A and B are shown apart, each in its own frame.
Chain A
Amino acid sequence: MVVFHQTSKYYPCGHEALKAIDLHIPKGEMAFLSGHSGAGKSTLLRLIALIERPSQGQLIINGKNTAKISPRYIPWVRRKIGLVFQDHRLIDRMRVFDNVALPLVIAGFSNAAIKRRVHAALDKVNLLDSEKRHPIDLSSGEQQRVGIARAIVNRPPLLLADEPTGNLDPDLSSEIMTLFDQLHQIGSTILIASHDMALISKMNKRVIRLENGRVTNS
């Protein structure tokens, strides 16, 4: 699904975020990306989401070399990737329903299909009764679940989560992880960046450790 081959990322200021990484995440796998803050976890996810481009080396997603994807087609690649952010990035002026529906609106689904799929996604995160509320009226855990619903509503084959439990208490965190595990059971490829080692070890999945921009164990 995702292959890094000697991939590096430098920033103009000289900071080297990733140093010649080799990594393979097969289709249908659920893996954790761990390491201290600044180890390069977010950069790695941003590269996969095509938010940034590698400075050196190759990144192959679904058999396609990302260097050969023209900027015009990036939106169509991104629609096949679900993104979950630490700060959920919900749109406050929109109701929960519309927030979750946004990827479908962008992809041009019919209203009936949007309704059906949003309800299914909200049902999956247990928030079906909150569809008419605004994100600001929800708790932090609920907001994160709305963010996850938005990421999975388009049934993307690849799901990326950047510290999805960063702001949550342990109970909520394990609830969210269970949710990811369920999605993994259905067949999604999932990559979760997290520095919560206790939580990661409980899940018993592949762990990719990043230190100073290098993969130390995988």
Chain B
Amino acid sequence: MKHYSRYHSTKKTARNTSRKPHNTLWTAVLIYLSHHYHAIRSTLAMFSTQPLSTLLTALMLGISLSLPGSLILLTDNLNRVINQWGNSAQISLFFKTTTPIQSVREIATQIRQQPGVAAVRQQSADESLAEFNQLSGFSQAMDLLKENPLPAVIIVTPHLSQAEQLITSMRQQFSHHPQIQMVQADSDWVQRLHALLAIGTQLSIVLSILLSLAVLLITGNVIRIHIESRRQEIEVAFFIGAAPSFVQRPFLYAGFFYGLLAGLTTWGIMSYTLWQMKTPISAFANLYGQTFSLSWSTAQQGQLIFSGIALGWLGSWLAMHIYLYRLQTKQTVGTQL
């Protein structure tokens, strides 16, 4: 907005002689838009002189982005799968046989209210016996016993993401509970899975940062080369009254377009990879009796292309600002901006 007011407050000749506007704000908007129009034309001229190198740069940026992009997609999908399978992580509370069913119910209600609990199932001693008979085939042997040796059980299913905390807190709460014989949780595999997933997530974060930095540097360097090739032109523009914003705009657009091309290239690479992997992955999932396919939401695709654009723009912004700073401080050229 700064530009609008500066333009129409100082550039009276343009307003009076060439536009005959209805109001000054409209003139400012027109001037602003015309500057963008000329900047885009200038950028396209920049690209059209070296179409091959533009495409190669975009391809290089696209490949750089597709590695962290794929890794993020993979960990994201793994997270989804693990949450699907998460129901298999369970905590069992075995009660003392003397515990009345009323106390079991009370404790079950109490557990339901705890955070991180996905489901609670209670099973009386009789139900435990019925289940044991059904599953073990020792029903006749059990009949010989005078009393039911099996306890009542509460089976707690945690939300996977909070499984570890829940297991720890349940152990603390109930290990020494007078009515509870034993707290059992097979949390090892959950922990291992989480550790693996954490490594994957961490790796994708580190790679994302590194390769984003690479994209930033590549765009910055490409823009620097563009600036070098137009150095004389930039100087002339400053001499005939261009503001820094006018001079930098074509280069910022160049960064924007490089980023857009990079985003689209990455999108293409990843779409192709997903399409290629579709059959082997569903075949693999079928072996485990699961139906599963890699998914890539529209929001994620949008995010990817947006990150490309943001990185490209930022790279060119950095290159331009370093250049302008050097130009201002270089006394030999003496260019006052």
| A-to-B contact residues, CB < 8 Å | 11-12, 46, 49-53, 71, 73-79, 81, 83, 89, 91, 93, 102-103, 105-113, 150-151, 154-155
Contacts and interface: CB of A to CB of B under 8 A. Distances in A.
Interface string B224-243: 00000000110111111111
A109 B10 contact: no
Interface of B: 6-7, 10-11, 13-14, 17-19, 30-32, 34-35, 38, 45, 49, 232-233, 235-243, 246, 331, 334-337
A77 B10 CA distance: 9
Contacts of B243: 75, 106
Contact of B337 (A53, A74, A113): A74
Given A71-B337, A108-B7, A113-B18, A78 B31 contact: no
A108 B240 contact: no
Contacts of B32: 108
A106 B10 contact: no
Contacts of B233: 91, 93
Contact of B11 (A50, A102, A105, A108): A108
A189 B13 CA distance: 18
A113 B19 contact: yes
Contact of B30 (A50, A52, A110): A110
A109 B331 CA distance: 33
Contacts of A112: 18
B241 A103 contact: yes
17 contacts: A71-B337, A75-B241, A75-B242, A76-B10, A78-B240, A79-B240, A91-B233, A102-B237, A103-B241, A105-B34, A106-B241, A107-B241, A108-B30, A108-B34, A109-B14, A113-B19, A154-B13
A187 B64 CA distance: 60
Given A105-B34, A107-B13, A108-B35, 6 more contacts: A53-B336, A91-B233, A91-B236, A107-B241, A109-B18, A113-B17
Contacts of B31: 108
Given A74-B337, A76-B11, A113-B17, A106 B246 contact: yes
Contacts of A51: 239, 334-336
Contacts of A107: 11, 13-14, 241
The B interface, classified by DSSP as helix, strand, loop or mixed, is helix
B241 A78 contact: yes
A76 B239 contact: no
B240 A50 contact: no
Nearest to B27: A108
A103 B240 CA distance: 6
A111 B38 CA distance: 11
A112 B18 CA distance: 8
A89 B232 contact: yes
A106 B237 contact: yes
A107 to B, nearest CB: 5
Contact of A74 (B17, B35, B336): B336
B246 A49 contact: no
A79 B236 contact: no
A108 B18 CA distance: 10
Given A89-B232, A110-B18, A46 B240 contact: no
B232 A12 contact: no
Given A105-B38, A109-B18, A110-B30, A52 B334 contact: yes
A45 to B, nearest CB: 11
Nearest to B34: A108
A91 B239 CA distance: 13
B11 A79 contact: yes
A73 B18 contact: no
A49 B337 contact: no
A60 to B, nearest CB: 17
A163 to B, nearest CB: 15
B14 A108 contact: yes
Nearest to A113: B18
A53 B45 CA distance: 35
B111 to A, nearest CB: 67
Contacts of B35: 105, 108
B305 to A, nearest CB: 31
A93 B45 contact: yes
Nearest to B39: A105
B49 A89 contact: no
The 9 closest A-B pairs by CB, nearest first: A108-B31, A113-B18, A79-B241, A78-B241, A76-B10, A75-B243, A52-B334, A106-B242, A103-B240
B334 A46 contact: yes
A110 B13 CA distance: 12
Contacts of B49: 93
A202 B313 CA distance: 56
A73 B240 contact: no
B19 A89 contact: no
A73 B240 CA distance: 13
